[in-house]
Amino acid sequence: MKTSNPNPVGVETRATPFCNFPFYLPIMLAKPRINRLFAADGKCFDVAIDHGFFNEAAFLAGIENMRSAIQTVLSAGPDAVQLTVGQAPLLQSVPGKHKPALVLRTDVANVYGKTLPAFLFSRMIDDPVKQALRLDAACLCVNLFLLPEQPEVHAECIENICLLKPVADEYGMPLMVEPLVMQDNQQAGGYMVDGNIEKIMGLVRQAVELGADIIKADPCTDITEYHRVVEVAGAVPILVRGGGKASDTEIIERTVELMRQGAKGIVYGRNVIQHEKPAAMTRALMNIVHDGADTKKALSILSDN
């Protein structure tokens, strides 16, 4: 198996220089940390394990023991792992140079439950850039929520990004903005992505206009239309969120098509950490992102590991 991450012993790595991808050159020159996030082929698979930040017991399945969960994912060599300030040391204390880059989650919110509380918030941690630097993070991640009839939360997210952007630029820290279009929680039975491509495109473009270096975006209902989302993002690379838990075939097929549509990678959480074989799923997805594996090949890797 080929992979972009040199962590697994005896695995072949790529030598393609990152500068072959002028798409990223302005970001690369201003913020060279981005080279630790994206592989030499200009693509990235970031495993999100930050779910405990949001005070939802259902999100803890598969990550009750964080040290074990992180070690399992590391064994498969993803490009990055997304963690909070409290759990990031579990990754950064791993010895050696060859481990995934740290993406630091900077905001905590209470918008994921089956019913929304009377008071909603999306609160950013204090001094996020300095905390990221101390933890040797390669990137920051911040939400841009769009919830039905909740403009205050949207406004708070915009304020967070506006506060974060100039400090991130000053210190050369890449900023990943996560535009998240949600359905009505009560009608959907909890946190559920709204796959309306028009809403996704509008919010993605707003993230670009606010200064995102990278965008972690929703999938849309019809994945064959995703090139439209990539287009409105322009020169900003799109990493697609996994959303809710899906079957193996569904998540593999979706990922294959998203990469065909022009996404530069993926950020998956529950579809990896809640899988019965999280390391095998990571390897299968890495093969799609970096080696162009089709559905049959990826499912074969998943079943063989």
Whole-model pTM over 0.85 = yes
Please, are residues 41 and 48 in contact by the beta-carbon 8 Å criterion? no
Residue 36 in tokens: 């630790």
**Structural domain contains residue 1:** no
**Structural domain contains residue 94:** yes
**Structural domain contains residue 160:** yes
Angle between helix axes 295-304 and 278-291 (nearest 10 degrees) is 150
Number of domains in the chain: 1
Residue 115 in tokens: 């019913």
**Structural domain contains residue 144:** yes
**Structural domain contains residue 6:** no
Mean pLDDT of 43-50: 97
Q: What percent of the chain has pLDDT over 90?
A: 79
Give the chain's count of helices (H) and strands (E): 13, 10
CATH code, 130: 3.20.20.70
Range from 32-36, 101-105, 224-228 carrying the lowest mean pLDDT:
32-36
C-alpha–C-alpha distance, residues 45 and 37, integer Å? 9
For 223, the domain range is 18-304
Residue 274 to residues 198, 252, 266, 280, Cα–Cα distance (Å) = 30, 15, 17, 12
Classified as helix, coil or strand, 264 is coil
Range from 132-141, 190-199, 246-255, 260-269 carrying the lowest mean pLDDT:
190-199
Q: Which residues pair with 102 in a beta bridge?
A: 81
**Structural domain contains residue 90:** yes
Q: Residue 69: which pLDDT band, with cuts at 50, 70 and 90?
A: very high
Please, are residues 53 and 64 in contact by the beta-carbon 8 Å criterion? no
Q: Residue 24: which pLDDT band, with cuts at 50, 70 and 90?
A: low
**Structural domain contains residue 210:** yes
Q: Which residues pair with 267 in a beta bridge?
A: 46, 241
Averaged confidence pLDDT in the chain: 90
